[in-house]
Structure 1
Amino acid sequence: MGEIAKGVLGGAWTLLAGWILPTALNLGIFFFAIAPSLRRAGPIAELWPATTAGTMLLLLAGSLLLGLVLSALQNPLYRILEGYLLWPAAAYTHGCGRNRRAKADLQDRLMFLRLERRQQAGRSPLPVAAAADLLRLQANRRISRAARKDRRRTDTQRALLGEKLARFPIADSQITPTRLGNAIRRFEEYGHNRYRLDSQVLWNELTGTAPEQVRRQVDLARAGADFFVALLVGHVALIVSAAVALASAHAHKPALLTTIAVVVGLIPLWYRSAVTATDEWAAAVQALVNLGRKPLAEAFGLRLPPTLDAERTMWALVTRLARRPYHERTAELDPYRGTSPQP
């Protein structure tokens, strides 16, 4: 019973922190800044509570209900913000191209700093290939302009460039049109890149067999990103409702315009915060893949082979088995079954 209670409370906490709390904050802004302009409208005037206690009860009930609705809609909400859903083809292509250039520029900037530091150290001449890369980067005006600022950065500030680069997928083919999409895609491809274990295909199996603490870390880390996504979505709804309220005969225009301006200014902040919050989420998923491989293999009746190359072959076959209809090639998993795999 204790374990069941801990699981229920853990799930309730992530729901509360990730979706209900930001919904309550957005509803609070609506009640105090926008609702006064709408309270005298026909249907709203009839339904609006007459007492302060009734208003607070409505705020609480609305937060719970809307928070649950947003939680149920989290997959399409994330897909829109990641660039997978409702994006025109031209916008999708343009966004992917822009992010590929941004990733390449970060790689070039870090390479330029590294090669320049090696050249200045003067311990030994640069290899021919490295010297050619340095000349190429020096001839690139965009990289040269960025390098003038990068030279003034401290080592800690330069490390932040590495963090930005780490928020991109390793493979350019996995680039998405948005920063949030790239920040999430980087850990979605982690298992496949390292072990050929597709964590997206085997997610339920992986989370069902991984150590409980690791699963808990993934849930808690995702709650941070959920919080900012819920705030962002709620702010969009606030802007729409404030624009509607401006057309009301009893509109408090200064308050509404101020609310719109503040909320519009906060949206980029919440978006950047959501992108940054994926760092902890990525670390948790990485731990889930690294530590969950062995129990997952045992749950499949398999044993991890002694070499990494053989393990990558094994997980590629397991992923194929889960993703596609059975094919005779899947029988290549047989050597990995039992107690003594011999790939």
Structure 2
Amino acid sequence: MGDIAKGVLGGAWTLLVGWILPTALNLSVFFFAVAPSLRTTRPIARLWPATQTGATLLLLATSVLLGLVLSALQNQLYRVLEGYLLWPAAVYERGCARRRRDKWNLQDRLTLMRLERRKRQHEGVLPVVAAADLARLRADPRLERAARGDRRRSAVQRALLRETLARYPIDDGQIAPTRLGNAIRRFEEYGYDRFRLDTQVLWNELTGTAPEQVRRQADLARTNADFFVALMSGHAAVAVAALSALGSAHADASLLLITALALGCLIPLWYRSCVVAVDEWAAAVRALANVGRKPLAESLGLALPADLEAERRMWALVTQLARLPFAERRAALDPYRSRGTPGG
């Protein structure tokens, strides 16, 4: 049934599920828990419908309107949660340093588990370099407590640790101050790290030429993250409204406080769910870069080189041509044009 609905709604599915539905959920909480304390105030009393049908229509209309507004503001909402917007410089730097340490700790923990497993498999014998690394990691006080727990982990639990590490960008210089920022940044850098294809610069060209199924997967995969971003944003707004309503004449203080507290407690849960939901989005963008490179090259009149290093040089030149003003050195792209000799 869900697939049929997706086919009928087409591109509207991402808007409906990603932004309008969570907005409707938040407005329902507002209408039930906050609005009764505000209905005696003059502006709310004048606008509030007199019938249940009118209230339902108001909920639907407001959900659609605010959902569209949130969709239009999605870049700003993501940037706040990623740590790029409205973050003081000092807080930003501390956040990046903390996430960098978390990444290094995860790497060291996984390396320690791998070396200990190798030592067991080889009856206590390791190469000199590996043995030195194992001794260094065992002596590291940062890892002592975590290492004791890691030794009791099952294979599945260790795989989950590797999954957590995979949510960080490869380049430490790309580390963001939040978990969501890093989860997104790791797939934003994927095309450039592997092929020197900057998917951020060439996103429209890439999605415009990629196979339909791959492009649609990327759109639908983002919907889950959009849902949680809209849900968190609405929770914060309703919680603030609930606290503000405490000053009204007929406020139900207990209900308002419970509502604000419950929404505040749910925000971290939805944030973590959003970080996990980005995994599917990352996989879809990775597929887009892997599969969409060839049709993108053909649409640009280029022949994809058989040699990977030559391909990396080609995409670096294409990115520079799209991002920087034209200069004569861009003529280095000529050998990759389809009328030239692929590979340069």
Distance 1:301-1:8 versus aligned 2 partners, 3 A rule: farther
Letter in 2 for 1:341: P
Is contact 2:306-2:343 (8 Å) kept?
A: no
Query: Which stretch has the larger CA shift, 211-220 or 113-122?
Result: 113-122
The answer for unaligned runs of 5 or more in structure 2 is: 1-5
Cα deviation, residue 7, structure 1: 8.5
Cα deviation, residue 131, structure 1: 1.1
Q: Hey, what does 1:159 align to over in structure 2? A: 159
Measure the CA separation in 2 of the matches of 1:188 and 1:111.
26
Q: Hey, what does 2:247 align to over in structure 1? A: 247
Q: Hey, what does 2:44 align to over in structure 1? A: 44
Any idea what the Cα deviations from partners look like across 1:70-117, whole Å, max 9, x if unmatched?
000000110111111110000000000000000000000000000011
Query: Which stretch has the larger CA shift, 171-180 or 123-132?
Result: 123-132
Q: Hey, what does 1:114 align to over in structure 2? A: 114
Where do 1:30-41 residues align within 5 Å?
30-41=30-41
Measure the CA separation in 2 of the matches of 1:94 and 1:266.
25
State the secondary structure of the residue aligned to 2:11. Answer: helix
What is the percent sequence identity of the aligned residues?
70
Letter in 2 for 1:105: N
Please tell me whether residue 179 in structure 1 is matched to residue 179 in structure 2. Answer: yes
Measure the CA separation in 1 of the matches of 2:182 and 2:8.
31
Where do 1:67-146 residues align within 5 Å?
67-123=67-123, 125-146=125-146
Give the TM-score, by structure 1 length: 0.97
Q: Hey, what does 2:58 align to over in structure 1? A: 58
Q: Hey, what does 2:201 align to over in structure 1? A: 201
Measure the CA separation in 1 of the matches of 2:29 and 2:83.
28
Q: Hey, what does 1:22 align to over in structure 2? A: 22
Cα deviation, residue 122, structure 1: 2.7
User: What number of residue pairs does the alignment pair up?
Assistant: 338
Query: Which stretch has the larger CA shift, 249-258 or 333-342?
Result: 333-342
Measure the CA separation in 1 of the matches of 2:263 and 2:160.
28
Cα deviation, residue 9, structure 1: 2.8
Q: Hey, what does 2:3 align to over in structure 1? A: none
Letter in 2 for 1:214: V
Measure the CA separation in 2 of the matches of 1:300 and 1:121.
51
Any idea what the Cα deviations from partners look like across 1:11-50, whole Å, max 9, x if unmatched?
1000000000000000000000110000110111011001
Cα deviation, residue 120, structure 1: 1.7
Is contact 2:310-2:343 (8 Å) kept?
A: no
Cα deviation, residue 125, structure 1: 2.1
Cα deviation, residue 123, structure 1: 4.5
Is contact 2:307-2:343 (8 Å) kept?
A: no
State the secondary structure of the residue aligned to 1:325. Answer: coil
Measure the CA separation in 2 of the matches of 1:72 and 1:43.
27
Is contact 2:83-2:176 (8 Å) kept?
A: yes
Is contact 2:18-2:227 (8 Å) kept?
A: yes
Q: Hey, what does 2:220 align to over in structure 1? A: 220
Cα deviation, residue 342, structure 1: 4.1
Is contact 2:196-2:315 (8 Å) kept?
A: yes
Measure the CA separation in 2 of the matches of 1:300 and 1:124.
56
Q: Hey, what does 1:3 align to over in structure 2? A: none
Is contact 2:311-2:343 (8 Å) kept?
A: no
Letter in 2 for 1:142: R
Letter in 1 for 2:331: A
Cα deviation, residue 8, structure 1: 8.5
Q: Hey, what does 2:342 align to over in structure 1? A: 341
Measure the CA separation in 2 of the matches of 1:123 and 1:289.
43
Cα deviation, residue 144, structure 1: 1.5
The answer for unaligned runs of 5 or more in structure 1 is: 1-5
Measure the CA separation in 2 of the matches of 1:124 and 1:195.
40
